[in-house]
Structure 1
Amino acid sequence: MSFAPLLAAPLPIQLHAWTAMAAFLLGLAVLARPKGTATHKAMGRIWVALMLVVAISAFWIHELNQFMGFSWIHLLSIVTCYTLFMAILHIRRGNVQAHRYNMLATFLGALVIAGLFTFLPGRIMHRVMFGG
């Protein structure tokens, strides 16, 4: 494993990848800890901020270029921003179940599933993990 391919990537890709990795690790911690505590709320706010950076930074990444410089990942970024907004709205209204659903959907969809695609051959994270 070598971070050299990531460190050589353009700044938007580096910002996107580092914040995604931080959000993944923090998200695991949030999921493992008791819910509703002051720590949970503080960690959740930081996680939402990281996820917004991940989603917004994707709009400056055009490597896949499937349609006029954009790709399916840009749609995922829009969905991520929406689900984060809905999660915050739901918890402020006291709907814990809907909040939990939106947060889990964001974690699984935007970090786990989308993250797995970054390890496909030809992608930067594939080179980070497996060389080449």
Structure 2
Amino acid sequence: MQITPVIAIHLAAALAAVAIGPVALWARQGATQRPRLHRAAGYAWVTLMVATAVSAIFITGGPGPRWAGFGLIHLLVPVTLGMLVMAFVYLARRNIVGHRKTMQQVYIGACVVAGGFTLLPDRYLGHSVWSALGVI
């Protein structure tokens, strides 16, 4: 497998989302709150997460069981998009606690956990990283 334009888009959006997520999540925490930074970083992060999820639909292949070209990791696509919608529903209803918890869960689940799985040696990115480091 090689880097196709879809994989490049997916990878770039995912890496940017991992980087900007903490800014969006914690700009409203602590004694100094930055609502403009929170909103700008939040909208950028959501856009990157949507790009990551949608581009994942077009990436097939890889190890594991398949159904119509989709693997188990593709189940994260509707979960991620659904949770992003719910976070905005909470916001529209002025349920800030629900909004905060949902966004934190999406970041941890979609960025940290799913991102960690991409570093497994049998995945494309993991194999590339570990072989470049001389580990495998």
TM-score class normalised by the smaller sequence: 0.7 to 0.9
CA contact (8 A) 1:80 1:110 kept: yes
In structure 1, list runs of 5 or more residues that go unmatched: none
Match of 2:7? 13
Larger displacement relative to structure 2 (86-95 or 33-42) = 33-42
1:26 maps to amino acid: I
Superposition pairs for residues 50-129 of structure 1, below 5 Å?
50-64=48-62, 66-129=66-129
User: How many positions carry a matched residue from both structures?
Assistant: 126
Which of the two has higher C-alpha Rg?
2
Percent identity among equivalent residues? 35
Cα distance between partner residues in 1 of 2:101 and 2:25: 12
Shift of 1:121: 1.1
Superposition pairs for residues 9-48 of structure 1, below 5 Å?
9-35=3-29, 37-48=35-46
Higher relative contact order (CA 8 A, sep 6+): 1
Cα distance between partner residues in 1 of 2:25 and 2:40: 13
Cα distance between partner residues in 1 of 2:24 and 2:40: 10
Cα deviation, 1:47-101, whole Å, max 9, x if unaligned, reads: 0000000000000011136112011222111010000001011112110111011
Shift of 1:127: 3.0
TM-score, length basis structure 2? 0.84
TM-score, length basis structure 1? 0.87
Larger displacement relative to structure 2 (16-25 or 31-40) = 31-40
Shift of 1:32: 3.3
RMSD: 1.7
1:31 maps to amino acid: L
CA contact (8 A) 2:121 2:130 kept: no
CA contact (8 A) 1:55 1:81 kept: yes
Cα distance between partner residues in 2 of 1:113 and 1:129: 17
3-state DSSP of counterpart to 1:42: helix
2:13 maps to amino acid: T
